[in-house]
Amino acid sequence: MRRTSLHTHRRRHSHATFHTFRSALNPKKTCGSLAATLAVLIVTASCSDKSVTGLQSNGLTSSDIASIQVSPSQIKGWAGDTVRLHAVAVDGSGNSVSGATFSWSTDDKSTATVSSDGLVTFQDLTDSASTTITASIGSDHHGKSHANNRGGKPAKVTVTPTSASMGVGNTVNLKATVIDQKGNQRHMSLNWSSSNNSVASVTGDGMVTGQSTGTATITADAGPAQGQASVTVTSASGSVSSPAAVGDLAAAAEGPDSVTVRWTQVGDGTGNPADYTLRYGSPTISWGSAYSTEVEVSGNRIGSSESYTFHGLSSGTNYQFQLVSYRGTLNSSATFGPLSNTVSATTDAGSSGGGGSGGSGSGTVGPVASVTATPSSYTFTSIGASVQIQASATDSAGRTVTNAAYTYSSTDASVIAVTSAGVMTAKAVGSAMIIVSAVCCGQSNPAADTITGTVTNGSTSGSGSTQAMYADDFESYGTDSGPSGGANGFSWGQSNHGSGDALAVSTDVAHSGSKSLKFTFAAGGSGDDAWSEQRFNVGENANELWMEWWMHYPSNYAHRNDSPSNNKFFRLWGNDYNSSNKVGASTWASGGGDRLEFDRNVSGGIGPVGQSFSGFPPALNQWFRVRVHVRYPSGGGGQNAALQMWIGDNLVIDNGPSQLSDMVYNSSAPYWNAGYLLGWSNSGFDQTTNIYIDDFKIWDSNPGW
């Protein structure tokens, strides 16, 4: 060994010479050059290798690294927010490569900047903008994260009018103004919701429709800030009301022989969804004389969008469409609401089914021999997006069957849901097959076609198409019992609760469908605890997991603060609940809204760590999404560990190795295989409190958040 005046350390290794400099150099070599910065290692290899910066003197070369993974792969934040990114170098076998350092860069510093250790800061913008954050090793290896600056953080939402009174079937259009923290007005999309859709429903643009007598609170949600208006619905007769009117019937799509109409579902006057009859005429409609064109559509959720496609129409022809809401049984005990507005549409020019004649050929048309559904495949790039299925049926002679009855189903409704009218909606990243069936003329065996559907996180590569190892919307269980399903090794365990507490599937409220999992914490006096937890088995020894669920907290939610700790939010452990590999999260009652924090095991037992989120829950009496990412350390000192949580789209807690350096590493069981949701509450509640969870999902590989 010898030392130069620059304190240079040289040694032989695989025909490479390693130089560590204390000042910036710019060496020239026959196979190219790289700029060296302070205390960064330069690897000088033969011309058959490439020089790589960011590798320590451990014998690594460029060929040792296959890719760089940056997590999260997508981030969102308001102006001024910060989010920590983590980068990992991966070899060709998918194993992490230790000892690599990264250089961080941003495509647009005016949107978001990034520090040398991956801390992203969203810049002061009023409106939203996006950029890409990149972690690099040399010029050959890059990992990226998409950063969306959501603009100025909403501080206040004002809904006008603040209160309104209307009759059943009447409407009022609410308006909302959003002001950010600097006093600038934001022009942004809002999430409108009603505290009771059976009383008053609201569309995505703030149009409220009275459904039945009662009161409801309408909320305009801008994320960090919400505004509300109180709505009272009255009935002049004081008796059971008629079904509400549909006032937004619209043409959604036209084809050569078809027209799709869409509307917002209304109530039937008793708090339940109404059913509908639809008719059409050409060039105008006369409701009474259009009886032969009538079709029936069942309602399923007040305030949601519904659609229907009329087939067998003539090409290049003007039509008018209309519907009426009703409850009961048609031609027997039906109670009708007012007729809807009429909507006009013109079919595209071109070949068609001839206005219901059934196409070419003679004789009786039917039964259905084949079904054609379009699109044959479809990729959604955003959650919540919808597309209308177009379906046609033909008989064995190839003639169009105009009076075929279509049914639609999904092999995984938690990923892609489909309505009775054939509208597909993306629910979560993954894939599902939509089955379109048709029958006619008394046939018992339907013909069918399929559509392959995929939901990604907005890209066509990476982990955005990872399907959940298990998803449960709790629709398949009876009420007043715990969940019992499972797949891919995952299974629900015991539904535990204390005396007076309860845990069961319920129809009280639901994020999707009509059921959710209800955790009941009984009222108690000072010092009394409460307990309600749902256990599960992961089905594998996992050192990294992603979980997602939706939560609904009641308006009377308030933890007592006489014993503020140990209010469980979730837990994970491996083999033994008392093992040192246990992690989770808890809420701490603080008088002004709970404080949500992660827990991890240290030498003295489990306890809170790192960042926290104050003001939890973010909203009462409405649904919000929770996402959790946990990664067990790969060694002592919290190496490669992560405990991250999102509330809605916001990463609110981001603990990495620096925050988890004291986390115990259990070398005999460095994994998790069991857990539970919610659990023991030391703080307790003065009033009986019901918390709901719906649409639970769990992954053992990155879902592309």
Contacts of 28 (CB under 8 A, 6+ apart): none
Q: Is residue 418 assigned to a domain? A: yes
Confidence at residue 500, expressed as pLDDT on a 0 to 100 scale: 83
The dihedral over CA atoms of 565, 567, 570, 573, expressed in degrees to the nearest 10, equals 50
Q: Is residue 60 assigned to a domain? A: no
Q: Is residue 359 assigned to a domain? A: no
Q: Is residue 449 assigned to a domain? A: yes
Measure the CA–CA gap between 18 and 532, rounded to whole angstroms.
Answer: 59
DSSP secondary structure of 164-183 = EEEETT-EEE-EEEEEETTS
Q: 428 and 549 share a domain?
A: no
Map 493-554 to HEC letters: EEEEECCCCEEEEECCCCCCCCCEEEEEECCCCCCCCEEEEEEEEEEEEECEEEEEEEEECC
pLDDT by residue (tens digit) across 247-298?
889 888 788 888 989 888 888 887 778 899 999 999 999 998 888 899 999 8
Confidence grade of residue 52 (pLDDT, cut at 50, 70, 90): very low
pLDDT by residue (tens digit) across 59-86?
556 667 888 888 777 787 888 888 888 8
Q: 212 and 273 share a domain?
A: no
pLDDT over threshold 90, residue 303: no
pTM of this structure = 0.41
Q: Is residue 119 assigned to a domain? A: yes
What CATH number does residue 131 fall under? 2.60.40.1080
Of 157-166, 520-529, 670-679, the poorest mean pLDDT is in: 520-529
Confidence at residue 559, expressed as pLDDT on a 0 to 100 scale: 74
pLDDT over threshold 70, residue 465: no
Q: Is residue 386 assigned to a domain? A: yes
Q: Could you give the number of structural domains in the chain? A: 5
Confidence at residue 291, expressed as pLDDT on a 0 to 100 scale: 87
Per-residue pLDDT averaged across 13-19, rounded?
33
Per-residue pLDDT averaged across 96-115, rounded?
89
Q: Is residue 43 assigned to a domain? A: no
What CATH number does residue 266 fall under? 2.60.40.10
Task: Residue 266: give the domain boundaries.
Answer: 250-346
**Tokens of residue 180, six digits:** 């950010």
Q: 94 and 213 share a domain?
A: no
pLDDT by residue (tens digit) across 194-208?
888 888 888 878 889
Indicate left, alpha or beta for 373 from its phi (over 0: left) and psi (-120 to 50: alpha): beta
Measure the CA–CA gap between 548 and 516, rounded to whole angstroms.
Answer: 14
Q: 411 and 269 share a domain?
A: no
Q: 129 and 191 share a domain?
A: no
CB contact at 8 A, 428 and 468: yes
Measure the CA–CA gap between 25 and 29, rounded to whole angstroms.
Answer: 13
What percentage of the chain exceeds 70 in pLDDT?
83
Confidence at residue 14, expressed as pLDDT on a 0 to 100 scale: 32
Confidence at residue 533, expressed as pLDDT on a 0 to 100 scale: 93
Which of 234, 267, 292 marks a domain boundary?
Answer: 234
Confidence grade of residue 50 (pLDDT, cut at 50, 70, 90): very low
Confidence grade of residue 40 (pLDDT, cut at 50, 70, 90): very low
Q: 614 and 663 share a domain?
A: yes
Per-residue pLDDT averaged across 552-576, rounded?
80
pLDDT over threshold 80, residue 225: yes
Measure the CA–CA gap between 356 and 314, rounded to whole angstroms.
Answer: 8
Q: Of 195-204, 325-334, 537-546, 611-620, which one has max mean pLDDT?
A: 537-546
Q: 203 and 299 share a domain?
A: no
Per-residue pLDDT averaged across 547-559, rounded?
89
Q: 446 and 530 share a domain?
A: no
Q: 227 and 316 share a domain?
A: no
Measure the CA–CA gap between 440 and 450, rounded to whole angstroms.
Answer: 19
Q: 281 and 385 share a domain?
A: no
Confidence at residue 593, expressed as pLDDT on a 0 to 100 scale: 59
For residue 106, give the 3-state DSSP assignment. Answer: strand
Which of 99, 122, 149 marks a domain boundary?
Answer: 149
Q: 530 and 679 share a domain?
A: yes
Sheet holding 226-234: strands in order across? 163-167, 226-234, 214-221, 191-194
Confidence at residue 15, expressed as pLDDT on a 0 to 100 scale: 33
pLDDT over threshold 50, residue 5: no
Question: Within 13 A of 370's CA, how many CA atoms are on the CB side?
Answer: 7
Which of 149, 170, 197 marks a domain boundary?
Answer: 149
CA 616 from chain centre, in angstroms, equals 19
pLDDT by residue (tens digit) across 612-631?
777 788 888 888 899 999 99
Running DSSP on this structure, what letter comes out for residue 687? S
Measure the CA–CA gap between 102 and 98, rounded to whole angstroms.
Answer: 12
Provide the residue type at 81 as one letter: D
Measure the CA–CA gap between 400 and 368, rounded to whole angstroms.
Answer: 9
Q: Is residue 363 assigned to a domain? A: no
Q: 199 and 266 share a domain?
A: no
Contacts of 12 (CB under 8 A, 6+ apart): none
Q: What is the pairing mode between strands 447-455 and 377-380?
A: parallel
Average pLDDT of the residues of the chain:
78
